[in-house]
């Protein structure tokens, strides 16, 4: 400051005992501005340079949990809604709907991955009984006689020619019928033919019928097939009971029949084998046209 300014501040006088008279006032001493302003500024500067007061940490003491607090905390942890009484509602049954799952099914048999693979074991179905397999009509395909070691001709022969035709039938109630014919005979009506014509007709035809039997006679003969000759065009065979060997080919479509022992055919012991193919179902079929005559050689053909 260029010059010192003085402020005239009155000084307080010391208190005196009250008296009846007042004394005269004395002149007051002058006080400078520095004595008043500077000390206050210095004190303010001292306060600004003082270090900051450290923060006070507050420790709040938590009261111990009560039983009610533990109950609600367990509900929150297990996501359980506390029980609240509700107004009873009337139950209306909902119709059942069929739900089709689109998710693929799990194959529990293959949970081990590539560790090992179990092969599918399929149990084959039990074989169909012979009585069920032979029921129906069968058309003759071939009749071949095979030679035995004693046969003079060591080659297969055709006792009723290669063109032989015929049917064999088995009914569900246990009866059978077999007919075999060599086609090509001259035609004649009943009562008009001569003796040679009837003799030729008898040589070209063979037929018999009667009950059939399937029996179990032990190991290797569980299904033994027997034909009986109650009616036959050969008088010497009427009343016979003959065993027929049998097996199937082409998934059961062909029935192969034979004799248990060699049969005498034209003076020679041979083994006959007859193949019959299952005839088509004729339940709803329409009648066919008449068959034309087939011209072949006589019964002497080997």
Give yes or no for a contact between 186 and 196, defined as CB atoms under 8 angstroms apart.
no
Distances 17 to 13, 20, 27, 284 between C-alpha atoms, Å: 12, 10, 20, 159
Give yes or no for a contact between 245 and 257, defined as CB atoms under 8 angstroms apart.
yes
pLDDT tens across 55-73, in order?
656 565 666 666 767 766 7
Give yes or no for a contact between 228 and 240, defined as CB atoms under 8 angstroms apart.
yes
The predicted model gives 30-55 an average pLDDT of: 54
Instruction: Determine the Cα–Cα distance for residues 24 and 125; give it in Å rounded to an integer.
Output: 149
pLDDT at position 46? 47
Q: Which residues pair with 227 in a beta bridge?
A: 212, 242
pLDDT tens across 125-169, in order?
777 888 899 999 999 999 999 988 888 888 899 989 899 999 999
Instruction: Determine the Cα–Cα distance for residues 135 and 150; give it in Å rounded to an integer.
Output: 37
Give yes or no for a contact between 223 and 133, defined as CB atoms under 8 angstroms apart.
no
pLDDT at position 94? 64
Instruction: Determine the Cα–Cα distance for residues 253 and 235; give it in Å rounded to an integer.
Output: 33
pLDDT tens across 5-33, in order?
555 555 666 665 555 545 455 555 555 54
* Residue 35, both tokens: 């004595």
Q: Closest Cα to residue 229, out of 248, 244, 245, 246?
A: 244
pLDDT tens across 184-215, in order?
888 887 777 788 888 888 889 999 999 999 98
pLDDT at position 261? 85
Residue 231: pLDDT band with limits 50, 70, 90:
very high
pLDDT at position 302? 44
Inform me whether the pLDDT recorded for 267 exceeds 90. no
CA angle, 202 then 206 then 209, to 5°: 130
pLDDT at position 139? 95
Ranges 94-108, 128-142, 225-239, 251-265: which has the least confidence: 94-108
Instruction: Determine the Cα–Cα distance for residues 262 and 145; give it in Å rounded to an integer.
Output: 9
Which residue has better confidence, 64 or 225?
Answer: 225
The predicted model gives 296-302 an average pLDDT of: 51
DSSP letter at 149 equals T
- Residue identified by tokens 């007042």 is 22
* Residue 266, both tokens: 């034209």
DSSP letter at 227 equals E
CA angle, 159 then 178 then 172, to 5°: 150
* Residue 118, CB-side half-sphere exposure with 13 Å CA sphere: 10
Instruction: Determine the Cα–Cα distance for residues 211 and 241; give it in Å rounded to an integer.
Output: 10
- Residue identified by tokens 């010497």 is 236
The predicted model gives 235-252 an average pLDDT of: 91
pLDDT tens across 79-138, in order?
555 555 565 666 666 666 665 656 666 665 555 655 656 566 677 777 788 889 999 999
The predicted model gives 235-242 an average pLDDT of: 92
The radius of gyration computed from the CA coordinates of the chain, to the nearest angstrom, equals 65
pLDDT at position 262? 87
The predicted model gives 48-55 an average pLDDT of: 59
What φ, ψ does residue 47 adopt, rounded to 5°? -70, -35
Which residue has better confidence, 37 or 65?
Answer: 65
Residue 293: pLDDT band with limits 50, 70, 90:
low
What φ, ψ does residue 99 adopt, rounded to 5°? -105, 125
Instruction: Give the containing element (helix H, strand E) for 46.
Output: helix 33-48
């Amino acid at each position: 400051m260029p010059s010192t300014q003085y402020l005239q501040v009155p000084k307080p006088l010391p208190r005196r005992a009250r008296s009846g008279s007042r004394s005269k006032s004395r002149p007051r001493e002058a006080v400078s501005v520095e004595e008043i302003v500077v000390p206050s500024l210095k004190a303010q500067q001292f306060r600004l340079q003082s270090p900051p007061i450290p923060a006070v940490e507050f420790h709040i003491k938590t009261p111990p949990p009560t039983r009610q607090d533990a109950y609600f905390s367990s509900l929150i942890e297990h996501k359980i809604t506390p029980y609240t009484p509700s107004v009873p509602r009337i139950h209306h049954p909902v119709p059942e709907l069929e739900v089709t799952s689109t998710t693929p099914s799990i194959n529990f048999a293959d949970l081990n991955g590539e560790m090992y693979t179990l092969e599918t074991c399929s149990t084959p179905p039990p074989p169909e009984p012979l009585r069920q397999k032979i029921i129906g009509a069968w058309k003759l395909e071939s009749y071949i006689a095979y030679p035995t070691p004693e046969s003079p001709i060591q080659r297969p022969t055709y006792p009723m020619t290669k063109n032989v035709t015929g049917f064999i039938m088995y009914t569900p109630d246990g009866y059978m019928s077999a007919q075999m014919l060599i086609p090509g005979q001259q035609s004649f009506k009943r009562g008009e033919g001569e003796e040679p014509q009837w003799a030729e007709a008898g040589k070209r035809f063979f037929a018999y019928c009667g009950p059939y039997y399937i029996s179990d006679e032990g190991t290797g003969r569980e299904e033994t097939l027997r034909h009986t000759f109650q009616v036959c065009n050969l008088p010497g065979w009427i009343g016979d009971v003959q065993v027929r060997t049998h097996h199937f080919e082409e998934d059961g479509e062909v029935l192969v029949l034979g004799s248990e022992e060699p049969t005498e055919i034209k003076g020679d012991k041979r083994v006959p084998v007859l193949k019959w193919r299952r005839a088509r179902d004729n339940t709803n079929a329409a009648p066919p046209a008449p068959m034309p005559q087939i011209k072949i050689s006589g019964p002497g053909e080997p």
